[in-house]
Structure 1
């Protein structure tokens, strides 16, 4: 195996006395793990922070062998890790991607979507400037993994107008008429998930409630549920930030 490409660092774990194993998302080759010799050194540790963009070179003699990875920094977002809210956003979105995606399967739309979220956090550290983009990325990840929500029309009446709720069972939109009598059993559907734009505080939290439900139910199950603690910390911070 020999791969030379740009990638977004998703996660790292210590390996041996000085090295670490990094997982990074490439656009055309999916998630790629690699052993970085000296990865815990003062020089390389900042380069391998989640959210940074690197140029990586992976080499392995066999397909079964963990590749050796050498890295070159391309774009650092390390400074954002010193700010609690942006740091929480980066920690969650990279951890989600790292654990949800299988290795070596290309997801170019998710690569571009993740880059968009990280760029939005970098451009507008205030949550109102990027949190809506993060919710849309969660929806995109659900869709790319086969668990997409259908917000194109009402699952009860078939109409496409006045969509105001989401079914927690089917993931389909429900109109006001279709929801009559069952409103308390449904998620409110925030307008920005259909119309675009940046949500206000109430709509943002409604969007997070929807994506959180389906991520927990369909993707982050059993051993993969560990990143949910990072999401809970992020949601708590967002509640305070948009209050």
Structure 2
């Protein structure tokens, strides 16, 4: 019997049989990991098994290749705390869905896991999360091998005049460097360069990161569509303007 104990963030919950669920977690030491929770659909357990909640899990299986089972203890219930704030709840749902979509299974990503947990805390606390969410999506792209390089102009222009992103390479381009190609480039929002965190700036930044999620990340994952939770976040941001 193989057994380990870890803690992390619930990403998704799916029914399994009549009373169990398959729990998907982003753990600190074992990465994105799945397991069966027997009785997970009960009235007592279901409320704590919600995406965004922090839990401690014990995973057991006869072989490492088996799905295995989880024993779960709640540590922090974030999802219920956000029911009165549809925008922050949509952001938390998007974080969980994109993590489940993009991260490899059973591959530890300790730095990214810590960043994801910190964002979940910011969402629960309600402070500074707009900027954190934008840079979290940028970190997710980097974790997936599609990092954006906004440190200088890809065309040799001035670093203090950056205004665009190449949709192919993800590198920044200055106004002067873009020249006649400007209409073929993505706008580079000031927020992605450290500018003010606003709703409008967040939407502009997520338009840019969304291009790379759809055009570059999704094709590497079998052309699966981007999780609908992200589109719901965009819609919530638009309503909040």
Q: How many residues align?
A: 237
- What's the CA shift for 1:219? 2.0
Deviations 1:13-42 (A, max 9, x none): 000100000010112210110100000111
2:214–2:226 contact (8 Å) kept in structure 1 = no
Give the TM-score of the pair, scaled to structure 2. 0.92
Alignment partners' CA distance in 1, 2:151 and 2:235: 30
RMSD of equivalent CA atoms: 1.6
2:59–2:71 contact (8 Å) kept in structure 1 = yes
Give the TM-score of the pair, scaled to structure 1. 0.92
Residue number in structure 1 paired with 2:208:
210
Q: Does 1:161 align with 2:160?
A: yes
Residue number in structure 1 paired with 2:98:
96
> What SS does the corresponding residue of 2:18 show, helix, strand or coil?
coil
Deviations 1:175-213 (A, max 9, x none): 111012222222221223222x64223322210111100
2:153–2:174 contact (8 Å) kept in structure 1 = yes
Unaligned runs of 5+ in 1: none
Alignment partners' CA distance in 1, 2:96 and 2:11: 5
Alpha carbons of structure 1 residues 198 and 105: separation in structure 2 relative to 1, 3 Å: farther
- What's the CA shift for 1:143? 0.4
Written as runs of structure 1 = structure 2, the 5 A alignment for 1:65-104 is 65-77=66-78, 78-104=80-106
- What's the CA shift for 1:159? 4.2
- What's the CA shift for 1:223? 5.3
Residue number in structure 2 paired with 1:224:
224
Deviations 1:138-159 (A, max 9, x none): 1001101111011111111164
2:88–2:126 contact (8 Å) kept in structure 1 = no
> What SS does the corresponding residue of 1:225 show, helix, strand or coil?
coil
Unaligned runs of 5+ in 2: none
Deviations 1:37-59 (A, max 9, x none): 00011111111100000000000
1:100–1:224 contact (8 Å) kept in structure 2 = no
Alignment partners' CA distance in 2, 1:184 and 1:239: 24
Alignment partners' CA distance in 1, 2:212 and 2:92: 20
Written as runs of structure 1 = structure 2, the 5 A alignment for 1:170-181 is 170-181=169-180
